[in-house]
């Protein structure tokens, strides 16, 4: 697990970047089902990254300019009559002892105590997010301080988002973070390999889902990192299919996109394989094309390469293959530029991975793509989806019926290293021979 020393280092790094500012972070809200039953709590990733504190109704304040209190937590106090219903709380005193806060207060005192951590700051670092009530709270404090600025000559003159600074930090994973991600991968690999062995004609998609998620919890994961996609037959052409209620048949493909969350760090793996003993000829042709595109894309995950290169590489391989199959026709450069391949491949080839499945971090700086560097973790996941109702782009050939109903995606988690890359999820087989059953 991440130790308090690393959380302290993260806060110090952020405070060094904000200078004389004050940064404010709000915990995630509690989500309610059935009117009065709470969903399992999942902390806001930015808040957790800086504090390790895993309770709702909390606010973290970083005030590097304050003489005594650089790190302040506002938390729920200990209240037995409430804890007996919803679980133990850390409380104010333990927030300092256990989480390293220089000072801690009950959350009810936020409005009273916050101004003294803002009045000498030159700006407020806070991301105006979905919590409109809390947004209004921060803006109200800022407006009151601005009203007295002419008399004092100090105070925050602007509100600036924390995202550009903090998310650049989150993008590069520490050795401890990578340990957590490797554990999430290890569990997810076991689950995928078991699911492939378990799958057979006549079983239902939800049975496979149950096997996957059983292993997630059995091995100590928090559970699925996202709703598990277990898509057989035509369902494999729906990118975010989660109903998982179809009975699988011989000659179907099964697309499983699933990963677990371990200590809030995530894995994200996709494999596509025959439900029966082997691919049909058409399935095999398209599968080999997607695998070729994925391997070529992974080869481009190198330090110093622009982020978009592995996507562009996958697209070119897929377009060349689709042209050979007469599913696309014309000039390859025009097809790529005008995205005439999108009826068959409509998503990007990957995303950042970490505390969030689609993790924090920019992909592009103006016209320039982010440069890959050691410690970045990306997914590489090309696919082809030829639905029953798929329509070719204007001027492209009609789709031969023999290709319809086939959806394929292959996804691995790839770490950028000093000398190249490491496929973290390599222990889940993906060759054509390995997919035979």
Angle at 266 between CA 265 and CA 268, to 5 degrees: 165
Task: Quote the CA–CA distance of 5 and 174 in Å, as a whole number.
Answer: 13
Element (DSSP H or E) covering residue 113: helix 110-113
**Catalytic hit among 240, 365, 389, 394:** 240
Is 289:321 a contact under the CB 8 Å cutoff? yes
**Catalytic hit among 358, 400, 402, 434:** 358
Based on the residue annotation, tell me whether 69 is a catalytic residue of this protein. no
**Catalytic hit among 65, 182, 203, 347:** 347
At residue 105, the 3 state secondary structure works out as strand
Task: Quote the CA–CA distance of 127 and 162 in Å, as a whole number.
Answer: 6
Burial (Cβ within 10 Å: 0-12, 13-18, ≥19) of residue 120: middle
Based on the residue annotation, tell me whether 433 is a catalytic residue of this protein. no
**Catalytic hit among 177, 381, 412, 413:** 381
**Catalytic hit among 10, 167, 351, 376:** 351
**Catalytic hit among 196, 376, 409, 421:** 409
**Catalytic hit among 268, 356, 359, 413:** 268
Based on the residue annotation, tell me whether 411 is a catalytic residue of this protein. yes
Based on the residue annotation, tell me whether 347 is a catalytic residue of this protein. yes
**Catalytic hit among 257, 356, 359, 412:** 257
**Catalytic hit among 46, 55, 177, 411:** 411
Based on the residue annotation, tell me whether 122 is a catalytic residue of this protein. no
Based on the residue annotation, tell me whether 381 is a catalytic residue of this protein. yes
**Catalytic hit among 34, 36, 81, 389:** 36
Based on the residue annotation, tell me whether 196 is a catalytic residue of this protein. no
Chain centroid offset of residue 302 CA: 21
- Spatial strand order of the sheet with 260-262 comes to 223-224, 260-262, 265-266
The per-residue DSSP string of 132-189 comes to HHHHHHHHHHHHHHHHHHHHHS-S---EE-SHHHHHHHHHS--HHHHHHHHHHHHHHH
**Catalytic hit among 385, 412, 413, 421:** 385
85 Cβ partners below 8 Å, 6+ apart?
Answer: none
Based on the residue annotation, tell me whether 351 is a catalytic residue of this protein. yes
Is 185:262 a contact under the CB 8 Å cutoff? no
Based on the residue annotation, tell me whether 240 is a catalytic residue of this protein. yes
So which residues are the catalytic ones?
36, 240, 257, 268, 347, 351, 358, 381, 385, 409, 411
């Amino acid at each position: 697990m991440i130790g308090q020393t690393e959380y302290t280092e993260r806060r110090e790094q952020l405070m060094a970047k904000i200078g004389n500012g004050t940064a404010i972070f709000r915990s995630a809200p509690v989500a309610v089902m059935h009117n009065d039953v709470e969903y399992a709590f999942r902390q806001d990733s930015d808040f957790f990254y800086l504090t390790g504190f895993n309770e709702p109704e909390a606010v973290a304040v970083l005030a590097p300019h304050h003489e005594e209190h650089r790190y302040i937590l506002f938390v729920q106090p200990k209240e037995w009559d409430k804890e007996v219903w919803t679980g133990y709380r850390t409380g104010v005193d333990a927030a300092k002892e256990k989480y390293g806060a220089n000072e801690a207060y009950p959350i009810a005192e936020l409005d009273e105590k916050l101004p003294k951590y803002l009045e000498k700051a030159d700006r407020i670092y806070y991301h105006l997010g979905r919590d409109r009530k809390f947004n209004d709270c921060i803006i109200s404090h800022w407006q009151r301080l601005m009203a007295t600025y002419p008399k004092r000559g100090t105070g925050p003159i602007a509100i600036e988002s924390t995202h550009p600074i903090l998310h650049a930090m989150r993008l590069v994973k520490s050795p401890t973070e990578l340990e957590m991600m490797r554990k999430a991968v290890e569990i997810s690999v076991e689950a995928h390999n078991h699911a492939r062995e378990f799958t057979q004609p006549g079983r239902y998609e939800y049975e496979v889902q149950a096997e996957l998620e059983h292993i997630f919890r059995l091995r100590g994961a928090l559970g699925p990192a996202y709703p598990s996609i277990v898509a057989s037959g035509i369902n494999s052409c729906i990118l975010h299919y989660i109903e998982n209620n179809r009975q699988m048949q011989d000659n179907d493909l099964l697309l499983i996109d699933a990963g677990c969350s371990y200590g809030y760090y995530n894995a994200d793996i996709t494999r596509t394989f025959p439900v029966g003993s082997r691919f049909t000829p058409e399935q095999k042709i398209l599968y080999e094309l997607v695998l070729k595109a994925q391997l070529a894309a992974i080869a481009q995950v190198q330090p110093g390469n622009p982020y978009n290169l592995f996507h562009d590489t996958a697209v070119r391989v897929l377009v060349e293959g689709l042209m050979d199959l007469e599913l696309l026709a014309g000039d390859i450069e025009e097809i790529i530029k005008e995205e005439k391949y999108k009826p068959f491949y409509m998503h990007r080839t990957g995303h950042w991975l970490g505390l969030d499945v689609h993790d924090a971090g920019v992909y592009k700086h103006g016209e320039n793509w982010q440069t890959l560097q050691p410690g970045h973790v990306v997914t590489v996941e090309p696919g082809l989806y030829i639905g029953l109702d798929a329509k070719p782009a204007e001027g492209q050939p009609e789709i031969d019926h023999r290709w319809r109903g086939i959806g394929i995606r292959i996804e691995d988690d790839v770490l950028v290293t000093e000398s190249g890359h490491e496929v973290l999820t390599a222990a889940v087989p993906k060759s054509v021979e390995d997919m035979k059953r």
